[in-house]
Amino acid sequence: MTTATDMATATGPADVFADLVGQDEAVQTLRRAATAAGELLAAGDGDPPPSAGAMTHAWIFTGPPGSGRSVAARALAAALQCLHGQGCGRCAGCHTTRAGTHADVRFVVPDGLSISVGEMRALVLRAASAPSAGRWQVLVIEDADRLTEAAGNALLKAIEEPPPRTVFLLCTPSTHPDDISVTIRSRCRVVSLRQPPAEAVAQVLAERDGVPAETAIWAAAAAQGHVGRARRLAQDQQARERRDAVLAVPRLLTTVGACFDAASSLIAAAEAEAEAAVAEIDAAERTALQTALGAGGTGRGAASAARGTAGQIKELERRQKSRATRAQRDALDRALVDLAGFYRDVLVSVLRAPVAPVHTDIAGLTGAAAEKWTAESALRRLEAVLSCREAITGNVKPRIAVEAMMLSLWRG
């Protein structure tokens, strides 16, 4: 489990809501909430201001990947701590919240596949205390759909009986019961986000990141509206190479053996990407734990003390294994999204639909496939990729799911 103190974020635009791309309606809702929160504090124990209804103690941010769920939650957290009550982005409250160092804001990002009840109880207990430096106690839970049933129940109790001046901000893909319990949903205000248009993402890349306009337009389309993914494609050569390898898969599926080879390559690439992503964090955590436990100590009692640390090391290894599993699945899912984009483009081409392609740089490959396949065949292939994503989400072993997908793609 990582918290805000572990995550430094770069300073963005002055207005804390400026990073929320293509979400004008949501931004208006959050601005009104921040203003109302400031007026509620100013009113104290007196009558609530007329704007009080714009603010509530529990929020759920939903939307597809890349829509900015966590960005919206972080922006509202900063606005709630803003000394001017508007989310100016320049005061100490905004700055420390965005930097991840505010004493009264906790960002919960699950390292592994779930958030345990023990972790949630500790966080809820901490959030129940009075603000020490800021205006509100804020608990931001990214990937709240990863709450275990017991953890969800612990959170529900806190939301049902909210402490004064405590705000809960939850991020989930949807309000479906598979993502968040109905009882938690019923006690929260929902902010629905949409996939931002590629044009808005390209504009952000060009204006804020200095990406050349042509590259920004290509990356925004290829990332299918996911701002973070678009930024990686525009700036990271390795990310582009991994995408190229995935988009080469369709023309490699010539035999049954080739299908299994392609599945192995895809799994191996996801594992390598995940290992590179977590290796530095794992090493730092292990070194820090060993230092805290007195590794390398000598003298009387050192041996027995070392034996007593085995349980803590084992727990660290368990967490790191869970983190690695999640990183592998995330990497594999990114590859499947790229692959789904290809088959979607083929389907669009077959149907001659007036829709912009996702992968503009492989129009030749897309056109060649469209000449050979019927619309039904392209749709079956697209459904095979989407079914693979769903199976992995349902904890089917990735290798089994990917191998079945490859065979379906080959057969058409």
Q: What is the pLDDT of residue 336?
A: 95
- Compare 65 and 381 and report the one with higher pLDDT: 381
Mean per-residue pLDDT, 142-167: 91
The per-residue pLDDT for 9 is 38
pLDDT at 308: 57
Q: How confident is the model over 11-36, as a mean pLDDT?
A: 84
Q: What percent of the chain has pLDDT over 70?
A: 92
54-110 pLDDT, tens digit each? 999 999 999 988 888 999 999 999 999 998 877 888 899 999 998 889 999 999 887
Does residue 399 have a pLDDT over 60?
A: yes
Q: Which pLDDT score, from 0 to 100, does residue 295 have? A: 59
**Residues 353 and 336 sit within 8 Å (Cβ to Cβ):** no
Are the C-beta atoms of 171 and 143 separated by less than 8 Å? yes
pLDDT for position 280: 77
pLDDT at residue 4, as a whole number: 39
DSSP 8-state secondary structure symbol assigned to residue 54: G
- Stronger pLDDT, 45 or 390, i.e. the higher one: 390
Q: What is the pLDDT of residue 138?
A: 94
Please tell me what DSSP assigns to residue 51.
G
314-325 pLDDT tens trace: 777 777 777 788
| Mean pLDDT computed over 193-219 | 91
Highest average pLDDT, of 44-58, 304-318, 367-381, comes from 367-381
pLDDT attached to residue 224? 85
Residue 303's pLDDT is what? 54
pLDDT, position 12: 43
The pLDDT mean for the chain works out to 86
- Quickly count: other Cβ atoms within 10 Å of residue 34's Cβ: 26
**What does the pLDDT look like over 37-49, one tens digit per residue?**
988 888 877 778 8
Poorest-confidence range of 91-105, 303-317, 334-348, 358-372?
Answer: 303-317
Sheet-wide strand order for 137-141: 105-108, 137-141, 166-172, 58-62, 189-192
Planar angle of CA 215, 216, 222, nearest 5 degrees: 90
Helices (H), 44-116: 69-81, 92-99
Q: Tell me the pLDDT band of 299, cut-offs 50, 70 and 90.
A: low
Yes or no: say if 274 and 330 are a contact pair by the CB < 8 Å rule: yes
Residue 3: the pLDDT is 43
Apex 248 CA angle, 242 and 253, nearest 5:
130
Res 256 pLDDT > 90 = yes
